[in-house]
Amino acid sequence: MNATPPVRILLCDDHAVVRAGLLALLGSEPDIEVAGEAGSGEEAVALAARLAPDVVLMDLQLGEGIDGVEATRRISATGVHVLVLTTYDTDADITRAIEAGATGYLLKAERPEELFAAIRAASQGRTTLSPPVASRVMAHMRRPRPTLTDRERDILAQLSQGLGNRDIARALFISEATVKTHLGRIYDKLGVDTRAGAVAVAKEQRLLP
């Protein structure tokens, strides 16, 4: 009888010490094999294309270059499963990662057994969320859809095109101070604290035209 082949993993984390720790941890599991390591988003995308792993273990914050969300988007588009492993569990991070195609979202504080189980689940395309993340996702789904003013929608639309405050002010014939005030209100209503997070939530909740 043929043994089941091990789940092949690609590690992506910009901290070499973290990668070494994961390498040692995963090496204790006979049915999990680390096929490669990446220290940046670009490297992860290139290695995923070359190695065709079953699962990419992806951190979100990767220093310079593309972040873990963009790397997840590019890798998952090729059909490779991406399991996010991070310390960040804000609504914006979770929303962006899931929207980018992440199969699962795990926090680094989880026990090793939970990580092993999540990797095996991800290799089969099944979703695993850390309990705090699952709670946030459920709360987010239950939250009433935010009501934005017409002006806030206009600013969000400009934001989604990648415009800065000065360009948004010029496009809408308002002052930069007014743009900042509206952005603060938009962030509060959407429960985010970054421009990328606002755009991600707006797309998810279909608040953009």
On whether the CB atoms of residues 109 and 87 are closer than 8 A, the answer is yes
User: Which two tokens mark 146?
Assistant: 């935010």
* Residue 1: predicted pLDDT: 43
- CA 27 to CA 123: how far, in whole Å? 17
Q: 138: Cβ–Cβ under 8 A, 6 or more apart, which residues? A: none
Sequence-distant (≥ 6) Cβ neighbours of residue 82 within 8 angstroms: 55, 56, 58, 72, 75, 76, 101, 102, 103, 122
Mean pLDDT of the 49-68 span: 92
In tens, the pLDDT along 11-48 reads: 999 999 999 999 999 998 999 999 999 999 999 999 99
Instruction: In whole angstroms, give the CA distance from residue 62 to residue 56.
Output: 14
Structure confidence by residue, pLDDT tens digits, 118-144: 999 999 999 888 888 878 777 766 666
Tokens linked to 204 = 């998810």
What confidence tens digit (pLDDT) does each residue in 144-171 have? 677 889 899 999 999 999 999 999 999 9
Can you say whether residue 63 is alpha, beta or left, with left for phi > 0 and alpha for psi between -120 and 50 degrees? left
Contact criterion met (CB below 8 Å) for 82 and 101: yes
